[in-house]
Amino acid sequence: MKLRIFEDVQAARQSLLRRVPFDEVPTSPELEEGIRRIFGEPLTPEKVVARILRDVRTRGDTALRDYAERIDGSPLEAIEVPRAELDAASQAIDPKLSHALEVAARQVREFYERQYKDSWTHRTAAGAVGQIVRPLQRVGLYAPGGRAIYPSTVIMAAVPARVAGVEEIVVCSPAGKDGKLSPLILAACKLCEVDHVYALGGAQAIAAMAYGTESVLRVDKILGPGNLFVVLAKRQVFGAVDIDQLPGPTEALVVADDSADPASVAADLLAQAEHDALASPILITPSRRLAERVNDEIELLLQRLSRREIIEASMARNGGIVLTSSTDEAIDLANEYAPEHMCLLIDDPWSKLDQVRNAGGVFVGEACAEALGDYVVGPSHIMPTGGTARFSSALNVWDFVKIISVFGLNQQGVEALAPAAITLAEAEGFTAHAEAIRMRLANPRPPLSPSAQDRERAG
């Protein structure tokens, strides 16, 4: 099987590179039949999610157990995983796997410890302004399950949360048919000092974290990737809680030129395609020679890959190669697409880094395979998809904190700024605002005592 080659950039824009909102992707007959079987009637995914959210909010744990049985075929004796199971899983997994998890956690921690997240106060003759950075009290992390398990996702979300100073971390992940979570997920939770682990998946997990139940703690923010129902649920609960983003299927966009190794380009595309039949493996290059050689390498590599059926479905549905007139045009086209992962497999890639404007993450040079970033480089692999890299960022420390603004004018500052404030208040029709400001002019306040100033500075 080979990727389709687009010689016309405009044609590629209108097809391969055209963005379709995740909730407008047509559902499959299998999905529609599953909805009818579970709910007894045809429903859109949006309506399925709304029903689950309402049901969990009303019936709590009873609804969670009901949906675990009906949707996942998973009987839940205990919704929260006992701490002893985390301890046992950590001891039971292969030491080589345990070491790999530790390496990943160390790399992620070291990266995020470098991220600036400080409070500050700026003092002038007029007083002071500033910001107080406070960690969120409790966050909920979703770790997908099903056909694949993602202990790496636990690390990529829980470690930045810990670095940010979050007080309490909750993880939800779907249980298997036996009602149990994967030992790898549990070991990752133990390593990251997760406080509570719940054997819950799908929209019902999002509902439980958003609203709370008898067993599940309500959180302040929900983060992490998931399937269509998880993403739709995150969108519907936003406002009751905060969310990080609405991540859809993964994307890899490789910008490469004649200097690139065709086998490396092919390997990077296939690595992302194996995630999901909806994944998008795309190459943009000014070299027809490279495009054809990459297709040859894809056919060779495919023969020995275990998830070949998924890869071929991804390539047929969302994959392709676009030919451009130059590397600069290729990067411009990549910026328009705003991919989750942008790989620069070009001559002297560092010289082109400043041209990258829109990407969840950029992988510079052939040595740094995108797959390495999924596990051990340091930055989180939870990144914006669907073109949202135009305005959003990969998960980071700032996702786990809030900023409280500090206002501290003294009398000199009040006298300097009050006239403008009164004018604006009256222009907007808010006379009580204007009067409150005039009172400060008419009745000057004494300056703060040194001890009070010290307390303010300490805050």
Decide if pLDDT at 141 tops 70: yes
- The predicted pLDDT at position 30 comes to 86
Out of 85, 274, 297, 340, the active site residue is 340
Query: Which residue has better confidence, 278 or 241?
Result: 241
Q: What is the pLDDT of residues 278-287, one digit of tens each?
A: 899 999 999 9
Question: Are 159 and 165 within 8 A, CB to CB?
Answer: no
Q: 222: which DSSP letter?
A: E
Can you tell me the distance from the alpha carbon of 376 to that of 381, in angstroms, rounded to the nearest whole number? 10
Enter the CATH code of domain 411-458.
1.20.5
Domain 5-22+248-391 has what CATH class? alpha beta
Say which residues have a Cβ less than 8 Å from residue 132's Cβ, sequence separation at least 6: 119, 403, 404, 406, 459
- The predicted pLDDT at position 456 comes to 46
- Mean per-residue pLDDT for 218-243? 96
Helix (H, G, I), strand (E, B) or coil at 216: coil
Give the rounded percent of residues in the chain with a pLDDT score beyond 70: 97
- The predicted pLDDT at position 458 comes to 44
First to last CA, the chain: 63
Ranges in the chain annotated CATH 3.40.50.1980 = 5-22+248-391, 83-245
Could you name the CATH architecture of 83-245?
Answer: 3-Layer(aba) Sandwich (3.40)
- The predicted pLDDT at position 459 comes to 45
Q: What is the pLDDT of residues 74-91, one digit of tens each?
A: 888 889 999 999 999 999
Residue the block writes with tokens 């998890």: 101
Helix (H, G, I), strand (E, B) or coil at 171: strand
* Burial degree of 283 (CB within 10 A; 0-12, 13-18, 19+): buried
The torsion angles phi and psi of 63, rounded to 5 degrees, stand at -65, -40
Any catalytic annotation for residue 370? no
Q: Across-strand partners of 363?
A: 343
Question: Are 196 and 217 within 8 A, CB to CB?
Answer: yes
The residue type at 175: A
Any catalytic annotation for residue 433? no
Q: Which of 92-106, 114-128, 278-292 has the lowest mean pLDDT?
A: 114-128
- Mean per-residue pLDDT for 248-265? 96
pTM of model > 0.95:
no
- Mean per-residue pLDDT for 195-215? 97
Ranges in the chain annotated CATH 1.20.5 = 411-458
- Give the chain's mean pLDDT: 93
Out of 196, 275, 341, 381, the active site residue is 341
- The predicted pLDDT at position 145 comes to 84
